Copies of this chain bind each other. A is one copy, B any other.
Amino acid sequence: MKYKIVTLVCVLMIGFMAYMIPNISAREEERLAFQATPVVEESKKSKSDEWERYFPRQYGSWKKTEESHEIEDMLERFPQLAILWAGYGFSKDYNAPRGHAYALQDNKNTLRTGAPVDDKSGPMPTACWSCKSPDVPRMIEEDGELEYFTGKWAKYGNEIVNSIGCADCHDNETMELEIRRPFLDRGLEAAGLPKFKDSTHQQKRSLVCAQCHVEYYFKPTPWKNEKGEDKLAKVVTFPWDNGLTAEDMEEYYDEKKFKDWTHKLSGTPMLKAQHPGWEIFQTGIHGQKGVSCADCHMPYTQEGTVKYSDHQLQSPLRTMDRSCMPCHREGEDKLRGIVNQKLTRKNFLMQLTMDNLAKAHLETAKAVEIGATAEELKQVREHIRHGQWRWDYSIASHGSFFHAPEETLRLLGSANDEAQKARILLVRVLAKHGLPDFQAPDFSNKENAQSLAGVPLKKLIEAKMKFKATLEKEWMAEAAKKGKLNMSSQEGIDQESSYFDNRKKK
Cβ of A342 within 8 Å of any chain B Cβ, yes or no, is yes
0/1 string, A28-67, CB within 8 A of B gives 1: 0000000000000000000000000000000000000000
Asked whether, in the complex, the Cβ of B420 is within 8 Å of the Cβ of A431, the reply is no
Across-interface contacts of A11 in B (CB, < 8 A): none
A:140-183 near B, CB below 8 Å = none
Determine whether the beta carbon of B436 is less than 8 Å from that of A406. no
Interface size for A (C-beta < 8 A) is: 34
Shortest Cβ distance from A166 into chain B, in angstroms? 35
Identify which of residues 311-335 in chain A touch chain B, using a CB-to-CB cut-off of 8 Å.
330, 334
Contact with B along A266-277 (1 / 0, CB 8 A): 000000000000
Expressed in whole angstroms, the Cα–Cα distance for A373 and B416 within the complex equals 29
Oligomeric state, in number of copies? 2
CA distance A330 to B288 in the complex (A): 10
Q: Which residue of B lies closest to A345 (CB)?
A: B410
Q: Of the 9-residue stretches A18-26, A121-129, A422-430, A455-463, which lies at the interface with chain B?
A: A422-430
Which residues in chain A, 241-288, are within 8 Å of chain B measured between CB atoms?
A: 283, 285, 288
- Whether A417 touches B420, Cβ cut-off 8 Å, given contacts A409-B409, A427-B427, is yes
Assess the B427–A289 pair: CB atoms within 8 A.
no
If A410-B409, A414-B348 touch, whether A437 touches B428 (CB-CB below 8 Å) is yes
Distance between Cα atoms of A423 and B283 in the complex (Å): 33
Assembly CA distance A27 to B7 (angstroms): 106
Candidates B289, B334, B421; contact of A420 at CB < 8 Å: B421
- Min Cβ gap A80→B in Å is 15
Q: In the assembled complex, how far is the CB of residue A451 from the closest CB belonging to chain B, in whole angstroms?
A: 25
Q: In the complex, which of the residues A330, A356, A413, A420 has the most CB atoms of chain B within 10 Å of its own CB atom? A: A413
A473 contacts B by Cβ under 8 Å? no
Asked if A432 is an interface residue, CB under 8 A from chain B, the answer is: yes
CA distance A412 to B236 in the complex (A): 36
Q: Is there a chain B Cβ closer than 8 Å to A188's Cβ?
A: no
A191 within 8 A of B: no
Contact of A352 among B341, B345, B414, B424 (CB under 8 A): B414
The complex places the Cα of A416 from the Cα of B414 at a distance, in Å, of 9
A residues in contact (CB < 8 Å) with B: 283, 285, 288-289, 330, 334, 338, 341-342, 345, 348-349, 352, 356, 405-407, 409-410, 412-414, 416-417, 420-421, 423-424, 427-428, 431-432, 436-437
Question: A-B pairs with the 6 shortest C-beta distances?
Answer: A420-B420, A413-B413, A431-B431, A409-B409, A427-B427, A345-B410
Q: Can you list 26 residue pairs at the A/B interface with Cβ under 8 Å?
A: A283-B341, A342-B406, A345-B406, A345-B410, A349-B413, A349-B414, A352-B413, A352-B414, A352-B417, A406-B409, A409-B409, A409-B410, A409-B413, A412-B413, A413-B413, A413-B416, A416-B416, A416-B417, A417-B420, A420-B424, A427-B427, A427-B428, A427-B436, A428-B431, A428-B437, A431-B431
